[in-house]
């Protein structure tokens, strides 16, 4: 896949919203993501799944190795942050909204080395997080949601991350 040349300060065109009758095409979303954020194509994302209230990636370790032959913390942190951004963006798209999302705060704890291909899962930190975000957007045209990301090698939890993501107000017409 050829990554288009991006220029600083110029937003990438948004992906068209899905039909209200059709589920999100995650393969098309991932292709758009690779173009919109050039580093994504280097992260080793093999597959993307939505299940229940979560979003999950299957990832290859090889492009994310550090000097010790295990997962590079900076790459793992970037993946966790980006997965949260994708969760919010896809949730907004399901609501029929094309809005800007930014990470406001993020933290992570490394619990075990990443020694093989792995999976990274993201979901709301609070069960009612999506409903609270929907209420904030309706009342204030902006909102925040706290998400939790967990990285597993097999059954071993290797990384826990948390992110607070902001949905920015709709720009004036």
Is residue 34 a part of any domain in this protein? yes
**4 pLDDT band (50/70/90 cuts)?**
low
Is residue 86 a part of any domain in this protein? yes
Q: Which of 79, 61, 59, 60 is nearest to 69 (CA)?
A: 61
Q: Which domain holds residue 144?
A: 26-167
Is residue 172 a part of any domain in this protein? no
Q: What is the pLDDT of residues 74-131, one digit of tens each?
A: 999 999 999 999 999 999 999 999 999 999 999 999 999 999 999 999 999 999 999 9
Is residue 16 a part of any domain in this protein? no
Report the CATH number at residue 155: 3.10.129.10
Is residue 21 a part of any domain in this protein? no
Is residue 43 a part of any domain in this protein? yes
Is residue 17 a part of any domain in this protein? no
Residue with the bigger pLDDT between 11 and 132: it is 132
Helices (H), 4-162: 26-36, 73-94, 129-140
Q: pTM of the prediction?
A: 0.94
Number of domains in the chain: 1
**2 pLDDT band (50/70/90 cuts)?**
very low
Is residue 145 a part of any domain in this protein? yes
């Amino acid at each position: 896949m050829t990554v288009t040349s991006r220029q600083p300060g110029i937003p990438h065109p948004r992906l068209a919203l899905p039909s209200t009758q059709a589920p999100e095409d995650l393969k098309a979303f991932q292709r758009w993501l690779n173009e919109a954020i050039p580093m994504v194509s280097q992260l080793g994302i093999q597959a993307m799944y939505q299940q229940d209230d979560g979003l999950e990636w299957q990832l290859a370790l090889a492009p994310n190795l550090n000097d010790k032959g295990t997962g590079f913390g900076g790459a793992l942190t970037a993946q966790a942050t980006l997965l949260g951004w994708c969760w919010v963006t896809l949730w907004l798209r399901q609501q029929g909204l094309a809005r800007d999302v930014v990470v406001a705060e993020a933290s992570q704890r490394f619990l075990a080395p990443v020694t093989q291909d792995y999976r990274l899962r993201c979901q709301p930190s609070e069960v009612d997080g999506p409903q609270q975000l929907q209420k904030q957007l309706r009342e204030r045209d902006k909102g925040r949601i706290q998400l939790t990301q967990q990285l597993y090698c097999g059954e071993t939890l290797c990384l826990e991350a948390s992110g607070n993501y902001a949905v920015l107000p709709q720009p004036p017409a």
